[in-house]
Amino acid sequence: MVVAVGDVVSRETLVAGIPVDVRIVDMMTLRRSIDSTNYPSRRVFKVKNPAGVIAMEAWNVIKEALRAKDAVVWVDGEEDLLTLPCVLESPDGAIVLYGQPREGLVVVRSSREKKREVRALLDRMAREEVAG
């Protein structure tokens, strides 16, 4: 399984013909709007995820998209932190791709050890309960 998080990574993998199972995009790069790209996929999801946040709704949509295995998730807001649930929810051995601005492509292979690292990072992040 391959997951691409971010518009540039998603577009460049498409152009290069790299098969990607799930793409997560927000039509922004470096905080600037970019033109939408048509990503062929069996399933399309839309979700809101504010900047600097991992919304539970977005986390749940990622789980569903990973199960679909041929999906694009359009994010209203920001997708940057959604790399973390992608690593945690993807099967061991999956590859999660994301861009490091002005640096290049980051490739993370999901594994028990990598998931422990991501959980430890999430444990250090502030949590906010949202009234429902």
**Which tens digits make up the pLDDT trace of 83-130?**
999 999 999 999 999 998 889 999 999 999 999 999 999 999 877 665
Tell me which DSSP letter residue 42 carries. S
* Residue 104 half-sphere exposure toward CB, CA atoms < 13 A: 2
How far does the chain reach from its first CA to its final CA, in angstroms? 34
Q: What residues have CB less than 8 Å from 68, skipping those under 6 apart? A: 22, 42, 43
**Which tens digits make up the pLDDT trace of 5-63?**
999 999 999 999 999 999 999 987 656 766 677 788 889 999 999 998 999 999 999 99
* Residue 66 half-sphere exposure toward CB, CA atoms < 13 A: 24
